Amino acid sequence: MNTEITIDGNRFLINGRPTYAGRSYKGMPVEGLLFNSRMVQAIFDDECEQTRKLWAYPDTGVWDPDRNTDEFCKMLPAYRSYGLLAVTVGLQGGGSVYTPEVYDRYINSAFTPEGKFKQPYFDRLLRVLKAADEAGMVVIVNYFYVKHARRFVSEKVVYDVVVRTTEWLLSTGYRNILVDVANESAEWWNFPVLEPGNIHRVIEMVKGVTYRGRRLLVGNSTGGGDQIPTEAWLEAEDITLPHGNGCMPDELRRKIQRIRQSTAYRKRPRPIVVNEDSVHLDNLEAALSEYASWGFYHQGYGSMYRDRRMDWTVKPRERDFAQLSGFQTVPVNWSINDEHKRAFFQKLKEITGGSS
């Protein structure tokens, strides 16, 4: 194994050395941060026959989950050369197309409703962990996405999946793993344990799983906007994972400041990692000004998604594979092939020097 992520107070270390060692940008410290990108569809598949055909590659006319993962893995060294150190990958992915007739029907989950593992997902995740390890990168593994977690037959399944997934990740031997349990814990998860008032219990479950004396570092992402974790949630987690989507730069700064002002944070400072935001690089600089890591989130056109500052509905999905935009609408072209990707990676190289 080549890459081990640890924390020292509010800094990240890779192989015992602070990330971006000695680096600063416009007087702001960069050392110890973990710039990242939301790549939740890196192990995507779909069991629904009616929606699976929508993900067909323009150049072949078929959907291929192994091609998707392989092309993602091949790009990791390129991302790393610009200074990207982490990617968020989801065992239940994230929204690809948000029209109800698609969003309510597609089935992208590494687990059956009864909690049984679907081995091809874990095989693909293992390839991602290996490729990231070799590239000197970290994988933020997200266990649950609301649309698919709602399909579990009971809350007991949630507990069981958390323990067995954590055991599996530890058993791989890879040390380049951080955990984001439930993408954007909120009140609408169907199971109380995944809601903000109880998510600390699941975080503690992850922390309680050990293998050969080692455990995983874990947090849980907030929603966008002004949501911050509860005190119990902050008390439990090793890293704090606020989402910045929906925030203007000043709002993101205030959100990070509110986390730092909490009793739990002041008692035990830890890294703050925005692992979902937007394509807006003024938000990147806002996070950096508060010494928080920032995560690029590029949905792509044809998704029927819009936020306060970006409307991904103004264009249809591109018909040429080379032109496919974004990193979340499937199928994904994982290359740095559109204006938002190029702008992000160039800014990242400017900030980090492209070094660790």
Q: Is the dihedral of CA 287, 246, 230, 114 positive or negative?
A: negative
CATH number, domain of 121, equals: 3.20.20.60
**How confident is the model over 212-227, as a mean pLDDT?**
96
The predicted model gives 22-49 an average pLDDT of 97
Of residues 186, 195, 124, 118, the one with CA closest to residue 155: 195
Q: What is the mean pLDDT of residues 229-237?
A: 97
Q: State the amino acid at position 8 in one-letter form.
A: D
Predicted pLDDT at 187: 83
What gap in Å lies between CA 224 and CA 277, rounded to an integer?
A: 8
Q: Do 54 and 320 contact (CB within 8 A), yes or no?
A: no
- The reported pLDDT for the residue numbered 189 is 83
Reply yes or no on whether the pLDDT at 190 is more than 70: yes
- 169 pLDDT tier (thresholds 50, 70, 90): very high
State yes or no: pLDDT of 356 exceeds 70. Answer: no
- CB-CB contact of 149 with 158 (8 Å): yes
User: Which pLDDT does position 354 carry in this prediction?
Assistant: 84
Q: Are 136 and 97 in contact (CB under 8 A)?
A: no
Higher-pLDDT residue of 355 and 11 is 11
- Calculate helix-pair angle for 155-171, 199-208, nearest 10 degrees: 30
- The answer, yes or no, to whether residue 158 has pLDDT greater than 90, is yes
pLDDT at 172 over 90: yes
C-alpha closest to that of 310 among 328, 322, 292? 328
Domain housing 317 = 5-352
Q: How confident is the model at residue 67 (pLDDT cuts 50, 70, 90)?
A: very high
Tell me the average pLDDT across 313-317: 91
**pLDDT attached to residue 308:** 84
Round to whole Å and give the CA distance between 320 and 211. Answer: 46
Judge contact between 123 and 167, C-beta under 8 A: no
Measured between alpha carbons, how far is 149 from 161 in angstroms, rounded to an integer? 11
Top-confidence residue, 312 or 256: 256
Nearest-10 crossing angle of helices 339-352, 281-289: 30
Q: What tokens appear for 246 in the block?
A: 């929906």
pLDDT band at 307 (very low <50, low <70, confident <90, very high): confident
| Confidence at residue 355, expressed as pLDDT on a 0 to 100 scale | 57
pLDDT at 245 (0 to 100): 94
Average pLDDT, the chain: 96
- Which structure tokens are listed for 1? 């194994």
Q: How many domains does the chain have?
A: 1
- Cα 220 to Cα 140: distance, rounded to the nearest angstrom: 11
Class of residue 265 by CB neighbours under 10 A (exposed 0-12, middle 13-18, buried 19+): buried
pLDDT at 188 > cutoff 90? no
pLDDT over 60 at 160, yes or no: yes
Averaged pLDDT, 304-325: 92
Whether this prediction's pTM lies above 0.85 is answered by yes
pLDDT at 21 over 60: yes
Task: Tell me the average pLDDT across 147-176.
Answer: 97
Encode pLDDT of 198-215 as tens digits: 999 999 999 999 999 999
Helices (H), the chain: 49-52, 65-81, 100-103, 119-135, 146-149, 155-171, 199-208, 231-236, 249-261, 263-267, 281-289, 339-352
Q: How far apart are CA 274 and CA 291, in angstroms?
A: 11
The pairing of strands 177-182 and 138-144 is parallel
Mean pLDDT of the region 90-111: 96
Q: What is the pLDDT of residue 34?
A: 98
Query: Residue 151's Cα: distance from chain center in Å?
Result: 21
| Among the listed residues 186, 216, 260, 192, the one whose alpha carbon sits nearest the alpha carbon of residue 10 | 260
DSSP string, 171-197: HT--B-EEEEEETT--TTSSSGGGSTT
Question: For 242-273, how does the pLDDT look when each residue is reduced to its tens digit (9 = 90+)?
Answer: 999 999 999 999 999 999 999 999 999 999 99
Mean local confidence (pLDDT), 32-51? 97
